[in-house]
Chains A and B, each alone.
Chain A
Amino acid sequence: METAYNFKEVMNRPERLAPGHRMCAGCGGTIAVRAVLRALHPEDKAVIGNATGCLEVSTYMYPYTAYEDSYIHNAFENAGATLSGVETAYRVLKKKGKINDNYKFITFGGDGGTYDIGFQSLSGAMERGHDMVYVCYDNGAYMNTGTQRSSATPQYADTTTTPAGKVSAGKVQIRKDLAAIMAEHHIPYVAQTTYTGNFKDIHTKAERAIYTPGAAFLNIMSPCPRGWGYDPSELMNICKLAVDTCYWPMFEVVEGKWRLTYEPKKKLPVEDFLRPQKRFKHLFKAGNEELIVQFQAEVDRRWEELAAKCR
């Protein structure tokens, strides 16, 4: 049963991601992991999956696991399939009376492991309807290998494989809308979120994702101070600008019904989100004004499209 969000009670729950992992100072990825795992009811056990990426090499570096729960990493492109195997084993072992405890199944992948190389495996796992949650911590590039462009990278971002240069304005293409694609799988629950205020939005969505029977997908914008080029302490401000400019809309799709979970009182211009990040620095050079206009137009178009779905 879903209960009203009680921030104090939730923060009082035992921590399920231990410190001592090797993520960079100020990393957004582990904030996502902590937030999602807090939504597990303390009495439930869980198996945590993980695609190869920053999170994996930092949170299970032999012999140090940061997880209080059982954990499995397999490879880069198969977090969906791997956890679907675990979940299937759970169902059959329970049916055969070999295990009794209740388990939940949550897997984490970065945008590289989710939007790109793990896309097929994710799609298969969602389509088959395994009772599991796939969480993408989306930092918009292949950060583990040094900020190469992914299909989640926003247009014009300066990455190490789409460098801004004399004749290049960074990434050419606009980003893939993975949450919408997952919603088109007609699974029971899809949501997009990030970190805001007292974490009510992300907590509520994580709890729904975990406790809705069937497959669920969560897309969580997880800023990367190194890859995006901002001071690590600024993370929460970056998140706020992302949602207030409507660059990163927060919504959920419950049984096919789309709903905005946050609408800024005053939609800010997207350049407020772009300006603090070094990856967009070149957009603010004289002569590149048109690129920001285009970026804004894309944000507006997508926001309107989303708003229409949510009406």
Chain B
Amino acid sequence: MKAIDINEKSPWQHITEGNQIYEPATSRHFCTGEWRTATPVMDWDKCKQCLLCAPVCPDSSIPVCDGKRQEFDYDHCKGCGICMKVCPFGAITMKEGK
């Protein structure tokens, strides 16, 4: 039984033995982006790719690829705004709402 097939309606026979899960990172299926009350928005013209925003994200929602930060993972970003505060170039602004 795969994690994606287990849900709060699953019969007991579908619950994995000892609640064990044999796949990595199944939390990706759960979209915490819904929680947001404010949304970070990039001004790519201002971004210098210094990457200082990437390690401060509590939600692994600033992916880095080939040494460059990518667009926010809006499926999961909770909108805490830590990245906005650490950006030395004012490239991130917080917009109200999702």
In the assembled complex, the Cα of A26 lies from the Cα of B32 at a distance in Å of: 13
Interface contact A35-B66, CB-CB below 8 Å: no
**Given known A62-B19, A232-B80, contact A19–B27 (CB-CB < 8 A):** yes
Indicate whether A66 reaches chain B with its CB closer than 8 angstroms: yes
Q: Is the CB of A28 within 8 A of B58?
A: yes
Q: A15 at interface (Cβ–Cβ under 8 A)?
A: yes
Given A8-B51, A12-B64, A19-B73, A26 contacting B24 (CB threshold 8 A): no
Check A232/B81 contact, CB under 8 A, given A7-B51, A34-B55.
yes
Residue in chain B with minimal CB distance to A203: B55
Which residues between 4 and 54 of chain B lie within 8 Å of chain A, taking CB atoms? 6, 16, 19, 21, 23-32, 35-36, 51-52, 54
Please tell me if the beta carbons of A236 and B25 are within 8 angstroms of each other in the complex: no
Chain A residues lying within 8 Å of B30, measured Cβ to Cβ, are 20, 22, 64
Asked whether, in the complex, the Cβ of A19 is within 8 Å of the Cβ of B82, the reply is no
Q: Are A66 and B25 in contact (CB under 8 A)?
A: yes
The answer to the question of A97 belonging to the interface, with a C-beta cut-off of 8 Å to chain B, is no
Q: Return the chain A residue nearest B73 by Cβ.
A: A19
Q: Say yes or no: A63 contacts B3, CB within 8 Å.
A: yes
Partner among B26, B55, B79, B84 whose Cβ is within 8 Å of the Cβ of A35: B55
Q: How many residues of B contact A (CB 8 A)?
A: 45
Q: A29 and B58 in contact (CB under 8 A), knowing A19-B73, A65-B26, A68-B25? A: yes
Binary B-proximity of A46-64 (CB < 8 A = 1, otherwise 0): 0000000000000101111
By size class, the interface of chain A is 35 or more
Query: Could you say which of A68, A199, A237 contacts B24, with CB atoms under 8 Å apart?
Result: A68
A17 CA / B60 CA spacing, docked (Å): 7
Residue interface mask A7-44, B partner, CB < 8 A = 1: 11001100101111111111111110011001000000
Bound Cα distance from A87 to B84, whole angstroms: 40
The residue on B at minimum CB distance from A22 is B32
The residues of B that contact A15 with a CB separation of less than 8 Å are: 60, 63
Report yes or no: B58 in contact with A30, Cβ–Cβ below 8 A: yes
Interface residues of A in 49-101 (CB under 8 A from B): 59, 61-69
A197 within 8 A of B: yes
Question: Which residue of chain A lies nearest to B84 when distances are taken between CB atoms in the complex?
Answer: A233
> Quick check: is A198 within 8 A (CB to CB) of the other chain?
yes
Contact at A19–B32, with CB atoms within 8 Å? yes
Chain B residues with Cβ below 8 Å from A7 are 51
B97 within 8 A of A: no
Tell me which residues from 207 to 266 in chain A have a Cβ below 8 Å from any Cβ of chain B.
225, 231-237
The CA-CA distance from A19 to B36 in the complex, in Å, is 14
Q: With an 8 A cutoff between CB atoms, is A189 at the interface?
A: no
* CA gap between A65 and B28 in the complex, in Å: 9
A-B contact pairs, 12 of them (CB 8 A): A11-B67, A12-B65, A12-B67, A22-B30, A25-B78, A30-B58, A63-B6, A63-B19, A64-B30, A65-B3, A233-B81, A234-B85
A: residues with CB less than 8 A from B are 7-8, 11-12, 15, 17-31, 34-35, 38, 59, 61-69, 195, 197-199, 225, 231-237
Given contacts A19-B59, A21-B59, A63-B6, 19 further A-B contacts (CB under 8 A): A11-B51, A15-B63, A18-B24, A20-B27, A20-B29, A21-B27, A26-B82, A30-B60, A31-B55, A34-B58, A65-B24, A67-B24, A69-B24, A195-B56, A198-B55, A225-B80, A235-B80, A235-B85, A236-B85
